[in-house]
Amino acid sequence: MNVMVAGGAGYIGSHAVKMLFEAGHRVVAIDNLYRGHRQAVHPKVAFHQTDLAETRQLVDLLERYEVECVMHFAALAYVGESVTDPLAYYDNNTAGTISLLKAMKTAGVERLVFSSTCATYGEPEGVPIVETMGQSPISPYGWSKWCVERVLRDYSAANPAFAFVAPRYFNVAGTASDGSIGEDHHPETHLIPVILQQLLGQREKVVVFGTDYPTPDGTCIRDYVHVEDLCEAHMVAMNALTPGDARFYNLGIGKGYSVKEVIDSAERVTGMKVNVEYGPRRPGDPAMLYANAQKIFDELGWKAKYTEIDTIVGTAWNWFKGHPHGYAE
């Protein structure tokens, strides 16, 4: 299939580009490189530096490469930043997707895999989280993604030929199992890279926010889904799309690991001791967030292969120990 990957130079997008190419698809990657890395894009894949707001250029690329499906990962994704600069998030994440949809409509592209998030649930009704639970985001980031889900529902209802799937991610983690590409954010806020950066001497300490949660060890529990499992789910969903589809799936491993468990795992994997400082809770951090991913298994047969935290951390360590400064190496 001819596939355009928007945000193809980002963490998840670059892994999707790699896996799509290796699966035999014809891929074109686009990214504005605001936070993406050109070096992360597979060297044999066509790349164009462009922004989602450039609707006319998107039309040209969709037509030139005869694109049949778009995988859309291009988003700003820092919750805290979204609170201080909400317009940037609605502009890029929501308005940018509308620009992309306009381009797809003009070019006659009727399939979309949209990168959504568990942040659309806000404070969940309970755990594990299922797709039928209410959605009430607590950050502009979550709302910007929720708005796109609403747009997709309405656009799909008005255009019977259009089909989309919106996977809702939990905590994406790990890197390519062959060590070829990895994770490089500035600033870095994800727990596993933060821990590994501390072990590599790039951070003085790892701060654990809250040790008095109602969990077995007092720290927050999250669902860590490996980036390769995530991208495989996108390909499975893409191949299953038929006209009129409007699908939503949770993507996770169906269980959670606590902050302390992740730190312990990093120490086992690396053989080094993490310098930890314990601090107070952060406002808005739920005690537990993990997915029920049964729906995508029942409908598409997908389930995560990486479910043990040491294996997930091990793939990340394989990248970070060889690229302590990310793609700047």
Q: Dump pLDDT digits (tens) for 9-57.
A: 999 999 999 999 999 999 999 999 999 999 999 999 999 999 999 999 9
Q: Is 217 helix (H, G, I), strand (E, B) or coil?
A: coil
Pick from 290, 162, 291, 168: nearest CA to 234:
168
Query: What percentage of the chain carries pLDDT values higher than 70?
Result: 100
Q: Which of 141, 213, 257, 306 is catalytic?
A: 141
pLDDT at 176: 98
Per-residue pLDDT, averaged over 96-102, amounts to 98
Closest to 230 (Cα-Cα) out of 187, 288, 144, 291: 291
User: Dihedral sign, CA of 80, 10, 238, 308?
Assistant: negative
State pLDDT tens for residues 230-278.
999 999 999 999 999 999 999 999 999 999 999 999 999 999 999 999 9
Q: Is the pLDDT of residue 329 over 80?
A: no
Q: Are 166 and 152 in contact (CB under 8 A)?
A: yes
Least confident of 87-91, 168-172, 280-284, 322-326: 280-284
Active site residue 65: no
Residue 29: predicted pLDDT: 98
Domains of the chain (ranges; CATH) run 2-173+224-251 (3.40.50.720), 191-222+254-290+306-328 (3.90.25.10)
CA geometry: angle 260, 217, 285, nearest 5 deg: 75
